[in-house]
Structure 1
């Protein structure tokens, strides 16, 4: 399987909020975060940590169960808010 298309700090941060994810288990784009221990309290902490790590503010209208359901959904929101790469 190919490596997911997200920044390493994203996966490192996410793993810290998934207590039921084994250390040797791969974080796949469709991994169900709730099934791996992401509860409502952890979601708030994860949100704050990701905003700080990636220097973004996730607007209220993007704060939904769908956003925090899978790594792919969450990364899509963060990637969409990050500063675009400078044109060369």
Structure 2
């Protein structure tokens, strides 16, 4: 699935996800508190942590819908770098 760094980064922006609750692949990130400002901050954290840049086509609501879609996008970007 994803690595620990990714999970820690995403969890920081999910105030409604209890610390003891598993972050599942299809969790709706918006339902757990990822709003538009947090999305921008999360994007910045991921870009810095993985030394990548999300291109315009990856900057959509669909990319940040679930941890799975975000991880797949990040993995694709890393593979292309």
TM-score, normalising length: structure 1: 0.87
Runs of 4+ displaced beyond 2 Å: none
Residue of structure 1 equivalent to 2:24:
28
Give the superposed CA RMSD: 1.0
* 1:42-66 deviations in Å (ceiling 9; x for gaps): 0000000000001110001111111
* 1:56-88 deviations in Å (ceiling 9; x for gaps): 10001111111000000000011111147xxxx
Residue of structure 2 equivalent to 1:16:
12
What is the number of residues matched between the two proteins? 80
- Structure 1 portions without partners, runs of 5+: none
- Alpha-carbon distance in 2 for matches of 1:42, 1:27: 17
Whichever of the two has the greater Rg, that structure is: 1
- Structure 2 portions without partners, runs of 5+: none
* 1:14-47 deviations in Å (ceiling 9; x for gaps): 0000000000110011000000000000000000
TM-score, normalising length: structure 2: 0.95
Aligned counterpart in structure 1 of residue 41 of structure 2, from 42, 45, 59: 45
- Alpha-carbon distance in 2 for matches of 1:42, 1:59: 18
